[in-house]
Chain A
Amino acid sequence: MAETAAPATTRQKDLSARVSPAAQLRSAFETGSLRGVVELAEVSFLTMVGLRVDRNSDAGQRIASVTGGLPAACGGVSGSGDTTVLWLGPAEFLVVAPMEAHESLGGDLIQALKEALAGGEGQVVDLSANRTTFELTGPRARAVLEKGCSLDLHPRVFKAGTALSTEIGNIPAILWKTRDDSYRIFPRASFADFLGRWLLDAMREYASPEVP
């Protein structure tokens, strides 16, 4: 049998070959953003890990020591440094970490979580390609979201440092308020184009002068 000669070069990681789910909207996001009013951008390739574990179990506590805690209830966000854990369900969490935490770029987060789970009951699943991240910021960000999200987003109710799994523009998404006037939205990759365009459309009115 003919040996297929494997190229002797070590496989280089060509990061420029990656395409994020809303890459085609990058320039539209730039032109649609209004400085100091409402701005939209995609944050590509964040590392995301799905956790299924009972936070009161031994395995849950081992995992919490890796992530810097597991949130206790709906809306909860915990974590340490740039690794954040969002509450998705009573025994379901989403870890969000910078791109570099992914094992393909030399990170060890996922491996550490798997080791923490060890033989315990639960799951640690790399979901980095499952969702993309939109960052919506500015004083009008809430008004944009309110066009398609029925949660009470008023700051006295929806506080910075809270994340909720809900619907935005009729599609399921996770909404994380990172700071005042600053939101991260996690749509699934297949909804990214739709939600990106939906948000741009919702932002458009703020480009016009306010009608007195």
Chain B
Amino acid sequence: MLLISCPNCGSRDETEFHYGGQAHVAYPENPNALNDREWAEFLFYRDNTKGAFAERWLHSTGCRQWFNMLRDTVTYEIQAIYPMGTARPDAAPPAPESGTASTAPDSTTTGTAAPSIAATSIATSSAPASTTAPEGATK
């Protein structure tokens, strides 16, 4: 059983949560412009990553809020938890010079993007973004 740290509630059993699939799958700018294949890829095609995978979770029997999680699909290690709408935190290792907008391996607008490799070499930027756990919420 995973112990998942909800950003609102602190650590809770996995059974309190629902899985929401791959994160950062953006809705197409203009769905009408897509052909059938592109639309199918948006709807159904997801990465099948071995390693760090960004996914959505819902604390369904707690605060009923969604959040994102970066989880290793091999070890189940939870590397980061971060709010909906924010970029995947592991991104590429910070480029040494200048703050070039580091585009995260945010694969997915149309689903064809390459799976994020380098999963194992990610310098775990995992300050688990959990806020302080409230009274009674920690195991």
Interface residues of A (CB under 8 A from B): 73-76, 88-90, 92, 150-153, 157-159, 162, 164-167, 170, 172, 177
Contacts and interface: CB of A to CB of B under 8 A. Distances in A.
Given A90-B8, A165-B61, A151 B137 contact: yes
B97 interface: no
Most buried by A among B13, B62, B136, B137: B136
Given A167-B61, A170-B15, 16 more contacts: A74-B137, A75-B136, A88-B63, A90-B63, A150-B13, A151-B136, A151-B137, A152-B136, A159-B135, A162-B136, A165-B9, A165-B61, A165-B62, A166-B16, A167-B15, A172-B61
Interface of B: 8-10, 12-13, 15-16, 60-65, 134-139
19 contacts: A74-B137, A75-B134, A89-B8, A89-B63, A90-B63, A150-B13, A151-B12, A151-B137, A152-B139, A153-B136, A158-B136, A164-B9, A164-B62, A164-B136, A165-B61, A166-B12, A166-B61, A166-B62, A167-B16
A177 B136 CA distance: 10
B15 A74 contact: no
Nearest to A159: B135
A147 B134 CA distance: 22
Contacts of B139: 150-152
Contacts of B9: 74, 164-165
Contacts of A158: 135-136
A74 B64 contact: no
Given A90-B63, A92-B64, A166-B62, A74 B134 contact: yes
Contacts of A166: 12, 16, 61-62
B95 to A, nearest CB: 35
Contacts of B61: 165-167, 172
A89 B64 CA distance: 7
B64 A164 contact: no
Given A74-B8, A90-B8, A150-B13, A165 B63 contact: yes
A74 to B, nearest CB: 4
A152 B134 CA distance: 11
Contacts of B63: 74, 88-90, 92, 165
Contact of A90 (B13, B15, B65, B134): B65
A151 B135 CA distance: 10
A89 B65 contact: yes
Nearest to A153: B136
Contacts of A90: 8, 63, 65
A179 to B, nearest CB: 15
